[in-house]
A and B are shown apart, each in its own frame.
Chain A
Amino acid sequence: MALRSTKYDRQLRIWGEHGQSALERAHICVLNCGPTGSEALKNLVLGGIGSFTVVDASKVCASDLGNNYFVDWDSLGQSKAKTVSAFLHELNDAVDAKFVEESPEALLESNPAFFSQFTLVIATQMQENSLLKLDEICRQLNVMLIIARSYGLAGLLRISVEEHDVIESKPDNKVEDLRLHNPWPELQRYVDEFDIDTTDNVIHKHIPFAVLLIKITQDWKRAHNGKLPANVRELKVNFLTITARRRVEEDEDNYTEALKSAYVVLFPPEISTELHAILEDKLTEVNASSPDFWVMVAALKQYIAKEGQGEPPLDGAIPDMHSFTDYYIKLQKIYQARAEADVTAMVGHVSCILKQIGRDSSSIPRTTIKHFCKNTRHLRVLRCKTLRDEFSSKAGPELQRLLANEESSHPALYVLLRAVDHFAATYNRYPGAFDGELEEDVSRLKAIAVSILNDMGGGGVALPEDLISEVCRFGAGEIHTVASIVGGIASQEAIKLLTRQFTPVQGTFVYNAMSATSLVLNL
């Protein structure tokens, strides 16, 4: 076990022991093990998933030696699924490796129940028709699905799950909830103990900035009929000047911090639009079969209306503040105590609701509720359209709008990558498969792409000619670097789904390797 924590040290620092355990419980199925599939799986095997199963019917051939790292010359002519599984297994012997020498398409027909054993399926390099079937099966079996496609210098990626709830979304810019504009009685009592105009210079420079801002705000309110600074200008011009004037020496770091954080007085964190939508979601009308997540959201709603007076529970975390140790520790304890009290209030709401819906009132443990309370401002709910809905989408006007933009390559690649599958269904090969027919293929592909756009209700807008001929030039090639990027991103999204941390991509991710840029389309 010591080896395990050392081996995974650099990722445990990101998703923690509980994230790692979630990975270790996961059974992943990868459909087709070309470079896109095997690169995706490589990253997951290194990360320490529980087990994987590779499904691929093909034999290792010459072209695999030019784009896939997990085959070698000795394996020419042998099962690709077996070869890739064996080489991947070498990377981490804590992972169980399995393979099935059958085509994913055949398996979908012969044994749909096969997919029920997996936590998540990653479907690579599959065509529209099979994907539709796979999506239906996975939805039925409640198995998460990621679709990844590398095509020449372009790529597509899409998650398909009915609903995915995230408590620990770990956003890059976490808002600090300090309640400086509205301190609760315990915090106020603490603030009142300070004389911020003390003549003791050592104390003066060690008063935590939270105390400075609460005091100065209260002085301001007294002088302005109980009102906060009216706008940013007033904050900048007057409030900051008043704050800076109280500074005795230039090197008072607590004042530097106060000036930097003064804006939170005027702009305390609000309930984000995402959280607002979650609170208004119809699933907050809970019943006996509601998931714990929605029971806690329903409780959160009650908390905000009652104890919170419009605010969600305090998370209790405070930033470092230049001050004496004991000043800071005491302040920290005041915030933690308030957070703990909020958890207690939430536990009350949760058990009430559980009782109402006929469940054991203690069936959601306090630690779970506490974890939820620490993250309420950043809850995420991801819902994906079915592939059938996407493929029959009438989002043409949205595509038209995007295609009219100067940088229109991503929506165009989306249409073209769907068009190549229609092309293949018609001609039994991909555009650009033969050097001799490149020119004809360009006009064929264009006609198909235009008809896809028409079907979506987005006719009449031109696709960039350059891109159409480039897509033909690609000839369905699976370039190793592009596969490594698309597969890499697929494994990343898999990790986000499995650990229930961070925010998975919502929509269809389109990657343009020519410019190294991407766009997410919501169609």
Chain B
Amino acid sequence: MHRWEYHICNIHVVTFETLTWMLHSTFCLQRLSMADQQQQPSSLLSSRIDDGSGMENRWRDIERLLLRSGNLVGPGFEPGPELREALQNDFRVLVIGAGGLGCELLKDLALSGFGHIDVIDMDTIDVSNLNRQFLFRIVTQSFHLLIDFSHTLHYYLVSAAKHEQSVAGSHALRLGMQDVGKPKSEVAAARVMQRVKGVTVIPHFCKIEDKDIAFYKDFQIIVLGLDSLEARCYINSVICGFVEYEEDGSPDLSTIKPLVDGGTEGFKGHARVIIPGITPCFHCSLWLFPPQITFPLCTLAETPRSPAHCIEYAHLIQWGQDRIGEYFDADNPEHMKWIYDQALKRGEQFNISGITYSLTQGVVKNIVPAIASTNAVVAATCALETLKIATMCSTGMDIYMQYTGTEGIYLRTVPHDKDRNCIICSPGVPLEVDKSITLQKFIDTLLKDSRFKLKLSKPSVSYHGNNLYMQAPAVLEEMTRPNLQEQLLRLMGGETSDVLNINDRRLTGVLRVRVTFREGADTIDMDTAGT
């Protein structure tokens, strides 16, 4: 496939085949360059492949997919032992989140043959994680019995007492399982490495924003197991910001890092694949996320009608009035109890019943119900798609998978399109301006445009690597200031339609705006421009 065909794909709906082919070729390139850099012998694991230890069968089941050619595979699939070795030695996958999805993802990726995984999470382990985050645990009873009935089956009940063994108890003591309060990423990494030999899991106990943006460049694929929309959007803009575009608007394949994202709530979940620059990014499809429920302040203050109204009143209004200067901490039991007591009082006052401590926690902390089974299904779907992207060993899912387990079981994929106005991943958000516009007027126009104004405060503008106007540092600002009164068209060398890069401290990545000049001197209504 050549570049021009690819360009056609880019502006039409992209099939999985075309995009995976492109990515695969990217990976092949990256793999080759990695092999050049580090001429190291393969690790412990692949060295075991033919060492007569009987371990050559270890990856038998997944090798059916990796070593055998197939008909329903991704484009460019090249089966062979190199593929397994590449998974083991060359690929680096980053898992973001070591919670319900993250624990599952680490296990799933390690048992899919990925040898190098990093995991980043800022949280410590809490007791309420234990119903699903299976890499963490606590011992609540010092002894528990594991009973072996193998040889006494027919005397099942009678002989039970004689065959007690404390296998599980001894395991628990050996591993020292008091995990509550420890960093999730560190415990999760240690547990997976202990269980699955040959995998290296590097933990990062910090916020995603604490990492240098360059940190994320080290990975070929990034898998998200997050519960917050903000964190997803942050990573999305970082990864979309890496994509560089050719003059014709097509992305430079070597700059693309696929994102695989999972999310769950109760018996429902989703998994999706984002190929920045090619398939819709988060920002293109924010509508897929349900809006958060918020209550109008006047309802809370004047006309409460439900238990949640009473709780939010205590939380959002009363705390600030009664406990002046104290920072509310949802993890402080005394604080939570105070909110609960105040909510109860308010409920009594307004004749509203049904306020419980559990509901108080749920409302204040915005708790999303979570169970092990949904996490398992969603995470494994993400891990399998990650394997497919990395190896092309099978066809991929159509971008977005929805899972519903409440009424029967449904897994279905929902294709949707890129938003060409997306300020995060568009190769150039269209904007039409007068030929006569000056750079200063252009900047003013940006700041007024409804699509950008919330994302911009003091935009700097560059064109093909040339700084047209820089807000900082002061030296550059002074140097570029005279451009503000210049005609933009002239600064762009007379090109009547081209892409400008906008940088701003409010942006994580770069905003690309495709400016098209038109005749006429009238000012235009920016809210409809480009739509």
Contacts and interface: CB of A to CB of B under 8 A. Distances in A.
A203 interface: no
B394 A42 contact: no
A99 B147 CA distance: 7
A102 interface: yes
Interface in A312-363: 320-326, 328-329
Contacts of B384: 479, 481-482, 485, 513, 516
Contact of B64 (A9, A98, A473): A473
Contact of B408 (A63, A90, A505): A505
Nearest to B401: A516
Contact of B406 (A170, A324, A520): A170
A324 B112 contact: no
Contacts of B130: 7, 46, 92
Contacts of B38: none
Contacts of A82: 146, 148, 167
Given A153-B394, A518-B411, A9 B108 contact: no
Interface string B40-66: 000000000000001111111110110
A66 B406 contact: no
Contacts of A482: 380, 384
A67 B168 contact: no
Interface string B303-328: 11110000000000000000000000
A100 interface: yes
Contacts of A18: none
Interface in A1-55: 3, 5-14, 35, 39, 42-43, 46-48, 53
A321 B131 CA distance: 36
A98 B61 contact: no
B202 interface: no
B134 A493 contact: no
Nearest to A435: B68
A237 interface: no
A470 B72 contact: yes
Nearest to A494: B373
B472 interface: no
Nearest to B384: A481
Nearest to B381: A516
A474 B108 CA distance: 19
A172 B406 contact: yes
A82 B303 CA distance: 60
B128 A520 contact: no
Nearest to A87: B171
A489 B377 contact: yes
A286 B121 CA distance: 58
A466 B64 contact: no
Given A43-B376, A91-B137, A495-B373, A63 B406 contact: no
B383 interface: yes
Interface in B264-304: 266-267, 271, 296, 299, 303-304
B411 A469 contact: no
B141 to A, nearest CB: 5
Interface residues of A, number: 111
A518 B139 CA distance: 39
B150 interface: yes
B70 interface: yes
Interface string B351-368: 110000010011000011
A67 B61 contact: yes
A86 interface: yes
Contacts of B306: 320
B149 A99 contact: yes
A47 B58 contact: no
A328 B148 CA distance: 60
B233 interface: no
B33 interface: no
Contact of A10 (B65, B72, B370): B370
A228 interface: no
B395 interface: yes
Residue among A6, A157, A511 with the highest chain B CB neighbour number at 10 A? A6
Contacts of B371: 10-11, 14, 43, 47, 492, 495
Given A86-B168, A171-B407, A484 B373 contact: no
Contacts of B376: 39, 42-43, 484-485, 487-488, 491
B413 A515 contact: yes
Contact of A13 (B149, B369, B407): B369
A517 interface: yes
17 contacts: A7-B130, A14-B266, A67-B61, A72-B194, A82-B148, A90-B175, A99-B148, A99-B150, A172-B404, A325-B352, A479-B61, A479-B65, A484-B107, A485-B380, A488-B380, A489-B373, A513-B394
List the 6 closest A-B pairs by CB distance, nearest first: A477-B61, A488-B376, A516-B397, A484-B380, A101-B150, A89-B168
Given A82-B148, A477-B61, A488-B377, 17 more contacts: A9-B361, A13-B367, A43-B376, A46-B132, A82-B167, A93-B139, A96-B145, A98-B148, A110-B153, A320-B306, A438-B68, A473-B64, A479-B384, A480-B62, A480-B112, A481-B108, A495-B373
